[in-house]
Amino acid sequence: MQMDLGGLITEQRNPDTMQIDRVSTMEMLRMINREDRKVADAVGKVLEPIALAVDLAAERIRGGGRLIYCGTGTSGRLGVLDASECPPTYGVGADMVVGVIAGGPQAIFCAQEGAEDNEALCVEDLKKIQLNAADTLVGIAASGRTPYVIGGLRYGREVGALTVSVSCNPGSEMERMAEISVTPVVGPEAVTGSTRMKSGTAQKMILNMLSTGIMIRLGKVYENLMIDLQANNHKLEERARHIVMETTGVDYEKACAALEEHCYDVKLSILCLLTGISTVDALGLIAKNNGNLAACIAQFRN
Protein backbone atom coordinates (compact mmCIF):
# COMPACT_ATOMS: atom_id res chain seq x y z
CA MET A 1 0.00 0.00 0.00
CA GLN A 2 1.34 3.43 -0.95
CA MET A 3 2.25 5.63 1.99
CA ASP A 4 1.58 9.36 1.62
CA LEU A 5 4.56 11.20 3.05
CA GLY A 6 4.01 14.34 1.00
CA GLY A 7 2.16 16.14 3.77
CA LEU A 8 4.95 15.69 6.32
CA ILE A 9 7.16 18.74 6.71
CA THR A 10 10.06 16.50 7.71
CA GLU A 11 9.81 14.67 4.36
CA GLN A 12 9.71 17.74 2.12
CA ARG A 13 12.66 18.95 0.09
CA ASN A 14 14.58 21.91 1.46
CA PRO A 15 14.97 24.63 -1.22
CA ASP A 16 18.03 26.02 0.56
CA THR A 17 20.08 22.82 0.23
CA MET A 18 19.25 21.69 -3.29
CA GLN A 19 22.88 22.16 -4.33
CA ILE A 20 24.39 20.51 -1.24
CA ASP A 21 26.01 17.77 -3.34
CA ARG A 22 27.71 20.25 -5.70
CA VAL A 23 29.24 22.88 -3.44
CA SER A 24 32.54 22.88 -1.58
CA THR A 25 32.80 20.99 1.68
CA MET A 26 32.90 24.27 3.59
CA GLU A 27 29.72 25.54 1.92
CA MET A 28 28.06 22.16 2.52
CA LEU A 29 28.77 22.50 6.22
CA ARG A 30 27.57 26.12 6.21
CA MET A 31 24.26 24.93 4.75
CA ILE A 32 23.87 22.32 7.49
CA ASN A 33 24.86 24.85 10.15
CA ARG A 34 22.31 27.39 8.88
CA GLU A 35 19.60 24.75 9.12
CA ASP A 36 20.71 23.71 12.62
CA ARG A 37 20.35 27.31 13.84
CA LYS A 38 16.62 27.08 13.22
CA VAL A 39 16.18 24.28 15.76
CA ALA A 40 16.53 26.25 18.99
CA ASP A 41 14.00 28.83 17.82
CA ALA A 42 11.55 26.08 16.92
CA VAL A 43 11.93 24.50 20.35
CA GLY A 44 11.55 27.92 21.97
CA LYS A 45 8.05 28.16 20.51
CA VAL A 46 6.87 25.00 22.32
CA LEU A 47 8.12 25.71 25.85
CA GLU A 48 4.60 25.94 27.29
CA PRO A 49 3.67 22.27 26.75
CA ILE A 50 7.17 21.22 27.84
CA ALA A 51 6.72 23.13 31.09
CA LEU A 52 3.33 21.51 31.67
CA ALA A 53 4.83 18.07 31.07
CA VAL A 54 7.67 18.79 33.51
CA ASP A 55 5.32 19.86 36.29
CA LEU A 56 2.85 17.01 35.86
CA ALA A 57 5.55 14.35 35.46
CA ALA A 58 7.44 15.58 38.54
CA GLU A 59 4.24 15.36 40.55
CA ARG A 60 3.70 11.79 39.41
CA ILE A 61 7.28 10.79 40.18
CA ARG A 62 6.91 12.17 43.71
CA GLY A 63 3.99 9.77 44.01
CA GLY A 64 6.09 6.79 42.94
CA GLY A 65 5.72 7.02 39.17
CA ARG A 66 8.34 6.90 36.43
CA LEU A 67 9.30 8.80 33.30
CA ILE A 68 9.22 6.39 30.35
CA TYR A 69 10.33 7.16 26.81
CA CYS A 70 9.29 5.05 23.83
CA GLY A 71 10.42 5.42 20.26
CA THR A 72 12.00 3.81 17.23
CA GLY A 73 15.29 4.39 15.41
CA THR A 74 16.96 7.70 16.21
CA SER A 75 14.04 8.79 18.41
CA GLY A 76 14.20 5.60 20.47
CA ARG A 77 17.96 5.88 20.86
CA LEU A 78 17.62 9.45 22.11
CA GLY A 79 15.15 8.27 24.74
CA VAL A 80 17.47 5.49 25.87
CA LEU A 81 20.38 7.95 25.98
CA ASP A 82 18.50 10.47 28.11
CA ALA A 83 17.27 7.77 30.48
CA SER A 84 20.73 6.24 30.91
CA GLU A 85 22.28 9.56 31.91
CA CYS A 86 19.86 10.36 34.74
CA PRO A 87 21.20 7.95 37.42
CA PRO A 88 24.83 9.18 37.44
CA THR A 89 23.86 12.83 37.00
CA TYR A 90 21.06 13.03 39.53
CA GLY A 91 21.50 9.98 41.76
CA VAL A 92 18.16 8.42 40.87
CA GLY A 93 17.49 4.71 40.54
CA ALA A 94 17.83 3.11 37.11
CA ASP A 95 14.09 2.43 37.08
CA MET A 96 12.96 6.06 37.53
CA VAL A 97 13.67 7.09 33.93
CA VAL A 98 13.33 4.28 31.39
CA GLY A 99 13.96 4.15 27.66
CA VAL A 100 11.98 1.67 25.54
CA ILE A 101 13.09 1.22 21.93
CA ALA A 102 11.44 -0.81 19.18
CA GLY A 103 13.45 -3.95 18.55
CA GLY A 104 14.94 -4.10 22.04
CA PRO A 105 18.47 -3.31 23.22
CA GLN A 106 20.06 -4.53 19.98
CA ALA A 107 18.28 -1.70 18.15
CA ILE A 108 20.51 0.78 19.97
CA PHE A 109 23.48 -0.45 17.95
CA CYS A 110 21.88 -1.97 14.85
CA ALA A 111 18.81 -0.61 13.07
CA GLN A 112 15.65 -2.71 13.47
CA GLU A 113 13.55 -0.68 11.06
CA GLY A 114 10.68 -3.16 10.66
CA ALA A 115 9.87 -3.01 14.36
CA GLU A 116 8.47 0.52 14.04
CA ASP A 117 5.47 -0.68 12.04
CA ASN A 118 4.06 -2.85 14.84
CA GLU A 119 1.64 -1.13 17.27
CA ALA A 120 1.20 -4.28 19.36
CA LEU A 121 4.94 -4.61 19.88
CA CYS A 122 5.09 -1.40 21.91
CA VAL A 123 2.19 -2.56 24.04
CA GLU A 124 4.09 -5.78 24.76
CA ASP A 125 7.23 -3.82 25.64
CA LEU A 126 5.31 -1.50 27.98
CA LYS A 127 3.57 -4.42 29.66
CA LYS A 128 6.99 -5.96 30.35
CA ILE A 129 7.98 -2.91 32.39
CA GLN A 130 4.50 -2.72 33.96
CA LEU A 131 3.47 0.71 32.72
CA ASN A 132 0.78 2.02 35.06
CA ALA A 133 -1.33 5.03 35.97
CA ALA A 134 1.40 6.60 38.09
CA ASP A 135 3.80 6.85 35.13
CA THR A 136 4.44 9.45 32.44
CA LEU A 137 4.88 8.01 28.93
CA VAL A 138 6.67 10.15 26.35
CA GLY A 139 6.26 8.93 22.78
CA ILE A 140 8.97 10.19 20.42
CA ALA A 141 8.80 10.14 16.61
CA ALA A 142 9.78 12.88 14.17
CA SER A 143 7.01 11.95 11.73
CA GLY A 144 4.25 11.80 14.33
CA ARG A 145 2.84 8.73 12.57
CA THR A 146 5.03 5.84 13.73
CA PRO A 147 2.73 2.87 14.54
CA TYR A 148 4.95 1.54 17.36
CA VAL A 149 4.73 4.85 19.22
CA ILE A 150 1.04 5.37 18.48
CA GLY A 151 0.30 1.92 19.90
CA GLY A 152 2.27 2.81 23.02
CA LEU A 153 0.47 6.13 23.54
CA ARG A 154 -2.91 4.46 23.05
CA TYR A 155 -2.03 1.84 25.65
CA GLY A 156 -0.69 4.52 27.98
CA ARG A 157 -4.04 6.28 27.92
CA GLU A 158 -5.83 2.99 28.55
CA VAL A 159 -3.87 2.37 31.76
CA GLY A 160 -4.17 5.99 32.91
CA ALA A 161 -0.56 7.11 32.43
CA LEU A 162 0.13 10.73 31.52
CA THR A 163 0.88 10.68 27.79
CA VAL A 164 3.18 13.14 26.01
CA SER A 165 4.08 13.20 22.31
CA VAL A 166 7.28 14.67 20.89
CA SER A 167 7.17 15.00 17.10
CA CYS A 168 8.08 17.49 14.38
CA ASN A 169 4.94 17.45 12.21
CA PRO A 170 1.87 19.39 13.38
CA GLY A 171 -1.56 17.77 13.22
CA SER A 172 -0.19 14.25 13.51
CA GLU A 173 -1.82 11.11 14.88
CA MET A 174 0.55 11.24 17.84
CA GLU A 175 -0.61 14.77 18.68
CA ARG A 176 -4.21 13.59 18.74
CA MET A 177 -3.36 10.55 20.84
CA ALA A 178 -1.37 12.32 23.59
CA GLU A 179 -2.67 14.49 26.42
CA ILE A 180 0.27 16.87 25.95
CA SER A 181 1.82 17.38 22.52
CA VAL A 182 5.21 18.98 21.95
CA THR A 183 5.66 19.73 18.25
CA PRO A 184 8.59 21.92 17.23
CA VAL A 185 8.39 22.65 13.50
CA VAL A 186 12.02 22.59 12.38
CA GLY A 187 11.23 22.49 8.66
CA PRO A 188 12.61 20.23 5.93
CA GLU A 189 15.91 18.54 6.63
CA ALA A 190 19.14 19.49 4.88
CA VAL A 191 19.11 16.00 3.38
CA THR A 192 15.49 15.17 2.56
CA GLY A 193 13.88 12.89 5.15
CA SER A 194 17.04 12.49 7.25
CA THR A 195 15.28 13.17 10.53
CA ARG A 196 18.33 12.25 12.58
CA MET A 197 19.46 15.80 11.74
CA LYS A 198 17.30 18.80 12.74
CA SER A 199 14.41 16.71 14.03
CA GLY A 200 16.77 14.59 16.11
CA THR A 201 18.46 17.69 17.50
CA ALA A 202 15.10 19.16 18.48
CA GLN A 203 14.07 15.93 20.18
CA LYS A 204 17.36 15.78 22.08
CA MET A 205 16.86 19.35 23.31
CA ILE A 206 13.31 18.60 24.44
CA LEU A 207 14.24 15.41 26.27
CA ASN A 208 17.08 17.30 27.98
CA MET A 209 14.55 19.91 29.10
CA LEU A 210 12.06 17.31 30.30
CA SER A 211 14.45 15.24 32.39
CA THR A 212 16.47 18.21 33.65
CA GLY A 213 13.36 20.20 34.53
CA ILE A 214 11.87 17.23 36.37
CA MET A 215 15.08 16.64 38.33
CA ILE A 216 15.24 20.31 39.31
CA ARG A 217 11.64 20.15 40.52
CA LEU A 218 12.55 17.02 42.52
CA GLY A 219 15.31 18.89 44.37
CA LYS A 220 18.25 17.34 42.54
CA VAL A 221 19.77 20.76 41.79
CA TYR A 222 20.81 23.57 44.14
CA GLU A 223 21.30 26.90 42.37
CA ASN A 224 22.66 25.34 39.17
CA LEU A 225 24.74 22.56 40.75
CA MET A 226 24.14 18.80 40.65
CA ILE A 227 23.89 18.01 44.34
CA ASP A 228 22.70 14.41 44.01
CA LEU A 229 25.33 13.21 41.54
CA GLN A 230 26.85 9.78 42.04
CA ALA A 231 30.57 10.27 42.61
CA ASN A 232 31.58 6.91 41.20
CA ASN A 233 34.78 7.89 39.40
CA HIS A 234 37.68 10.27 40.01
CA LYS A 235 36.26 13.08 37.88
CA LEU A 236 32.89 12.97 39.65
CA GLU A 237 34.56 12.77 43.05
CA GLU A 238 36.46 15.92 42.20
CA ARG A 239 33.29 17.58 40.92
CA ALA A 240 31.58 16.71 44.21
CA ARG A 241 34.41 18.35 46.17
CA HIS A 242 34.23 21.52 44.12
CA ILE A 243 30.44 21.69 44.46
CA VAL A 244 30.80 21.52 48.24
CA MET A 245 33.52 24.17 48.18
CA GLU A 246 31.47 26.42 45.89
CA THR A 247 28.31 26.27 47.99
CA THR A 248 29.82 26.43 51.48
CA GLY A 249 33.05 28.39 51.10
CA VAL A 250 35.15 25.73 52.83
CA ASP A 251 38.60 24.77 51.57
CA TYR A 252 39.48 21.61 49.68
CA GLU A 253 40.49 19.62 52.77
CA LYS A 254 37.28 20.41 54.65
CA ALA A 255 35.18 19.55 51.60
CA CYS A 256 36.97 16.20 51.31
CA ALA A 257 36.47 15.49 55.01
CA ALA A 258 32.75 16.31 54.89
CA LEU A 259 32.18 14.13 51.86
CA GLU A 260 34.12 11.25 53.39
CA GLU A 261 32.04 11.56 56.56
CA HIS A 262 28.80 11.46 54.60
CA CYS A 263 29.76 8.77 52.05
CA TYR A 264 30.03 11.35 49.27
CA ASP A 265 26.44 12.52 49.70
CA VAL A 266 26.89 16.04 48.33
CA LYS A 267 23.53 17.42 49.48
CA LEU A 268 23.95 16.11 53.00
CA SER A 269 27.52 17.38 53.22
CA ILE A 270 26.49 20.87 52.13
CA LEU A 271 23.59 21.06 54.57
CA CYS A 272 25.69 19.93 57.52
CA LEU A 273 28.47 22.38 56.70
CA LEU A 274 26.11 25.32 56.20
CA THR A 275 24.00 24.71 59.28
CA GLY A 276 26.24 22.83 61.70
CA ILE A 277 23.47 20.37 62.51
CA SER A 278 24.02 16.66 62.97
CA THR A 279 23.76 14.13 60.18
CA VAL A 280 20.58 12.70 61.68
CA ASP A 281 18.93 16.11 61.94
CA ALA A 282 20.05 17.02 58.42
CA LEU A 283 18.55 13.83 57.02
CA GLY A 284 15.28 14.62 58.75
CA LEU A 285 15.26 18.13 57.34
CA ILE A 286 15.94 16.83 53.84
CA ALA A 287 13.11 14.32 54.12
CA LYS A 288 10.73 16.96 55.46
CA ASN A 289 11.45 19.23 52.49
CA ASN A 290 11.26 16.52 49.81
CA GLY A 291 14.97 16.76 49.08
CA ASN A 292 14.93 20.49 48.30
CA LEU A 293 18.16 21.91 49.67
CA ALA A 294 17.17 25.56 49.27
CA ALA A 295 14.02 24.89 51.30
CA CYS A 296 16.07 23.08 53.98
CA ILE A 297 18.43 26.02 54.34
CA ALA A 298 15.59 28.55 54.39
CA GLN A 299 13.70 26.56 57.04
CA PHE A 300 16.79 26.27 59.22
CA ARG A 301 17.55 29.99 59.01
CA ASN A 302 13.98 30.93 59.81
Residues with a catalytic annotation lie at 85, 116
CB contact at 8 A, 245 and 251: yes
d(CA 138, CA 162) in angstroms, rounded, equals 8
Enter the DSSP assignment of 140: E
Closest CA to 214 of 29, 62, 64: 62
Residue 77 backbone class (left: φ over 0; alpha: ψ -120 to 50; beta: rest): alpha
| Distance of alpha carbon 117 from alpha carbon 148, whole angstroms | 6
Contact 285, 300 (CB under 8 A): yes
Calpha distance 228→214 (Å, rounded): 14
The shares of helix, strand and coil residues in the chain, as percent rounded to the nearest 5, are 55, 10, 35
Instruction: Give the SS3 label for residue 28.
Output: helix
As a whole number of angstroms, the distance between CA 49 and CA 283 comes to 35
- CB–CB of 285/299 below 8 Å? yes
Amino acid at 27: E
Residue 215 CA to its chain's centroid (Å): 10
Chain centroid offset of residue 62 CA: 17
